[in-house]
Amino acid sequence: MLKFIIPAIIVFLIILFWEKINEKIYEKFNIKINYIVIIIGLTVLGIVFALLYF
C-alpha cells in the first residue's frame, strides 16, 4: 500500500510547487524546465509508439 501512496504524494507535491521549482532551476541554470519536460515526454511517447508499431 505504501508503494502506491508515497509516489502519489511526491507527484502531488511536485505539481503543487511546480512554479517554485521552475523558478529555482531558471535562476541556477537559466533554462526553463518546461521545455525539457516537454522534449522528454515527446521522446518517451515516440519510443513507446515505435515499439508498439514494430
Looking at the chain, the whole-number percentage of residues with pLDDT higher than 90 is 43
For the chain, the domain total comes to 1
pTM above 0.75, yes or no: no
Looking at the chain, the whole-number percentage of residues with pLDDT higher than 70 is 100
- How does DSSP assign 13-51, residue by residue? HHHHTHHHHHHHHHHHHSS-HHHHHHHHHHHHHHHHHHH
Distance, first Cα to last Cα, the chain: 36
Give ∠ CA 18-32-42 in degrees, rounded to 5.
Answer: 85
Domain that holds residue 23: 2-53
What amino acid occupies position 54? F
Summary mean pLDDT of the chain: 89
Q: What is the pLDDT of residue 16?
A: 94
Q: Which three cell numbers stand for residue 33?
A: 524546465
What amino acid occupies position 22? N
Q: What is the pLDDT of residue 51?
A: 93
Q: What is the pLDDT of residue 37?
A: 84
